[in-house]
A and B are shown apart, each in its own frame.
Chain A
Amino acid sequence: MTIEELEQIAKSACQENDKYDFEVNVCMDLACMSQGADRLRDALLKAAEASGKSVLVRRTGCMGPCSSGPLVRVDPEETLYHHVKADNAEAIVNSLGGDPVPELQCDLNEHFDKQVRVVLENAGYIDPEKIDDYISRDGYKALLTALTEMTPNGVIHRITESGLRGRGGGGYPTGLKWGTVAKASGDLKYIVCNGDEGDPGAFMDRSVMEGDPHRVIEGMAIAAYAVGASKGFIYVRAEYPVAVSRLTTALRDARRRGLLGNGICNTPFNFDVEIRLGAGAFVCGEETALIASIEGRRGTPKPRPPYPAVSGLFGKPTLINNVETYANIAPIVRNGGKWFANMGSERSKGTKVFALTGKIANTGLVEVPMGIKLREIIEVIGGGVPDGHTFKAVQTGGPSGGCIPAEMLDVGVSYDALVRLGSIMGSGGMIVMDDTSCMVNVARFFVEFCMTESCGKCVPCRAGTAQMFTLLTRFCTGTGTMDDLELLEGLCETIKEASLCGLGMTAPNPVLSTLKYFRNEYIEHIVHKRCPAGVCNMEAPVEVVA
């Protein structure tokens, strides 16, 4: 495969699509599928055939606003239809070439206007199982350009210049990580993609792997060229069967096209990727635990150093990045580091994909430039809290993150700002809570999660999370005391300081952040044995005198 051949494929793919007068794109991501998108697609195909019009019905990845699903977009007009049922298929096909169907049209301009799409640029526009669709949108161009026109150091320089930081949560500068692996000695090095999206309430990585799998593979191949690796692994959760099957198809197609394998683009560069299934362990998001899992062992973390960059998978230098990080690589190589660095804030460059869920009008996937205010994400893009309830907090970073209250919503989203607020960026889950959520109960929920997910290797995490859970359960059942609260605070500090890996070190975050901003709720539970949100079932309810 050469650049000319690639351009030829792109051209013929475009010509193939141009044969049709209309394109009807159906979102077939999990959320829309759960509302019957597969039946809708069948109905559209049938209606298109019966109408005699020249229509291309395309299956696509997530279009974004999942709460409006199933979604259909008609191109070239870019008319977006929401809540489409199989019964509406005929009306949509009949409207092609005429006026759109008014009752299905949706106005989500405000939702889309504030977004900037880099990682999700293809989502909703390509069929994830067709490599030619990806190639027609500049796919694999970055890889071939890097191989033929850039040195490995040049690639690393460009990534460093872009200011990209790891999208898995830690925010470690990607260029620096690549540089370390490139400098590590040894002929055999590995590339690992962390697709073990364990944060409950986040699904960005799933949508990227399912909606645009080639983008991840291309990013990994570029990384392999830059650091001098020839073998890659994608570690995917077993709970994501569709992602596994899409990636399998994508890898097969990329091999067939000569974009993976030996001597890619007539250069001496060899690279291939294997899929490894996770088996349900949150701790495997930690890089040393993930490596243990790929090696077929229990996912228990190891103390660092040595870092995986020096001694990782099978003892070899290993580069581990998150799905979204790899998904950013191709556009950076294509458009230059400065282009990327122009987006975002001072120390957090580019864009970030968030999974916006919970008590919010427009749930779904959003991609925003770093530095955007939380308020804009929640009130403008998300459409605010529905059903007349009031906003209480937004939870970011999953079980390692914290709850951010209403008075902090004017803070711009960046790695550092969220840490200052007592939360973390995390992989990008953003769960909105309203006045019906009890913050003590929320803290208990996360601590229970960390307790179950603790691998048991180090005592502070194994025993500490269990003790935190006991104390929080006391508060939630109305048997806690002020002494318990003091004990809990001390315990949080100990676990934070003394745990071996990120899971333990961040496990107290949901407790600390709720204590910081919602201390009065804890006091209500302890002193008045009352749950202000009415969630906790107190053993001895105190009668409220009217």
Chain B
Amino acid sequence: MPVFTPPPLPSDDKRWKIVNGTMRKNGFARHALIETLHTVQSSFGYLDDDAIRFVARSLRVPLSQAYGVVTFYHYFSLKPPGKHTMTICAGTACYIKGADKLAAAAEKHLGISQGQTTKDGGISLMKARCVGACSRAPVVLCDGEVAGEVTAEQMLEHLERWAVE
């Protein structure tokens, strides 16, 4: 039986070595698909076609299956994130405490809907499935940092600050 040789790295970008490292750690086993995609996303910020192809080929997973996994799970993103990301939690406690009003205010302010990035690539407006800080609802994440009991004014102020940067 011929020995499987993994494909060459797509480019000299050092981040591919990190991705390869995750696969090697798992012995290039097929069940490492999700783990590897996590590494790609944490290294590159999102998953593009090249990355999915590379991972699928390295793990000998059909491309359709790899793409299926990427689109099945909410955590994976196919679009590059903006410079800054404002994430509004959409958990139940946040909903009860008026997170929908926060979302509406942010959408109006930025002129985009949730899940999109402003045209200049400055700010992404995202929606989180519960981050688990429910006791301080409503919660937003400013570039990943949790802020609790947020008012629309506070959130807009933050967005303004990012805009002038």
Residues of A within 8 A of B (CB): 30-31, 33-35, 66-67, 69, 197-203, 206-207, 238-240, 276-282, 293-299, 314, 355-359, 363-365, 395, 398, 429, 431, 433, 437, 442, 445-446, 455
Residue of A34, A277, A294, A296 near B133 (CB, 8 A) is A34
Q: Is the CB of A201 within 8 A of B134?
A: yes
Shortest C-beta distance, B158 to chain A (Å), equals 14
A277 and B34 contact, Cβ closer than 8 Å, known pairs A34-B136, A203-B133: yes
Q: In whole angstroms, how far apart are the Cα atoms of A359 and B98 in the complex?
A: 11
Q: Looking at the complex, which of B12-20, B71-79, B106-114 is the stretch in contact with chain A?
A: B71-79
A355 and B38 contact, Cβ closer than 8 Å, known pairs A198-B129, A299-B72: no
Tally B residues with Cβ within 8 Å of A: 38
Q: Is B146 located at the chain interface by the 8 A CB criterion?
A: yes
Residue of A35, A239, A295, A359 near B96 (CB, 8 A) is A359
Hey, what's the 0/1 contact readout for B15-36 against A, CB within 8 Å counting as 1? Answer: 0000000000000001111110
- 15 further interface pairs, Cβ-Cβ under 8 Å (given A206-B132, A359-B97): A30-B132, A200-B130, A207-B132, A238-B75, A239-B131, A240-B132, A279-B38, A356-B135, A357-B137, A358-B96, A358-B97, A359-B96, A363-B136, A431-B96, A445-B92
Q: In whole angstroms, how far apart are the Cα atoms of A78 and B72 in the complex?
A: 48
Residue of A197, A238, A357 near B38 (CB, 8 A) is A238
A-B contact pairs, 23 of them (CB 8 A): A34-B133, A34-B146, A34-B148, A67-B135, A67-B136, A203-B130, A203-B135, A206-B132, A239-B131, A239-B132, A276-B34, A276-B35, A279-B38, A279-B74, A296-B61, A297-B33, A297-B65, A355-B134, A357-B137, A358-B96, A429-B92, A431-B96, A446-B92
Most buried by B among A203, A276, A281: A203
Q: Is the CB of B135 within 8 A of A363?
A: yes
Residues of A within 8 A of B131 (CB): 30, 239
Residues of B within 8 A of A69 (CB): 136
Q: In whole angstroms, how far apart are the Cα atoms of A409 and B139 in the complex?
A: 29
Q: Is the CB of A295 within 8 A of B31?
A: yes
Q: Is the CB of A200 within 8 A of B90?
A: yes
Q: Is the CB of A296 within 8 A of B34?
A: yes
Q: In whole angstroms, how far apart are the Cα atoms of A240 and B165 in the complex?
A: 29
Residue of A239, A293, A364 near B135 (CB, 8 A) is A364
Q: Is B44 located at the chain interface by the 8 A CB criterion?
A: no
Residue of A239, A314, A364 near B75 (CB, 8 A) is A239
Q: Is the CB of B74 within 8 A of A280?
A: yes
Residues of A within 8 A of B30 (CB): 296
Please report which residues of chain B, range 60-96, place their CB below 8 angstroms from some CB of chain A when the two chains form the complex.
61, 65, 68-69, 72-76, 90-93, 95-96
Q: Is the CB of B32 within 8 A of A296?
A: yes
Shortest C-beta distance, B78 to chain A (Å), equals 13
Residue of B69, B75, B148 near A35 (CB, 8 A) is B148
Residues of A within 8 A of B137 (CB): 357-358, 363
Which chain B residue has the least Cβ–Cβ distance from A358?
A: B96
Residue of B61, B74, B92, B146 near A30 (CB, 8 A) is B146
Residues of B within 8 A of A33 (CB): 146
Residues of B within 8 A of A30 (CB): 131-133, 146
Q: Is the CB of B34 within 8 A of A293?
A: yes
Hey, what's the 0/1 contact readout for B124-149 against A, CB within 8 Å counting as 1? Answer: 00001111111111010000001110
Shortest C-beta distance, B66 to chain A (Å), equals 9
Shortest C-beta distance, B64 to chain A (Å), equals 11
Q: Is the CB of A296 within 8 A of B69?
A: yes
Q: Is the CB of B146 within 8 A of A445?
A: no
Residue of A203, A238, A314, A445 near B134 (CB, 8 A) is A203
Residues of B within 8 A of A297 (CB): 33, 65, 69
Q: Is B103 located at the chain interface by the 8 A CB criterion?
A: no
Most buried by A among B35, B76, B129: B129
Most buried by A among B68, B76, B96, B133: B96
Q: Is the CB of B34 within 8 A of A431?
A: no
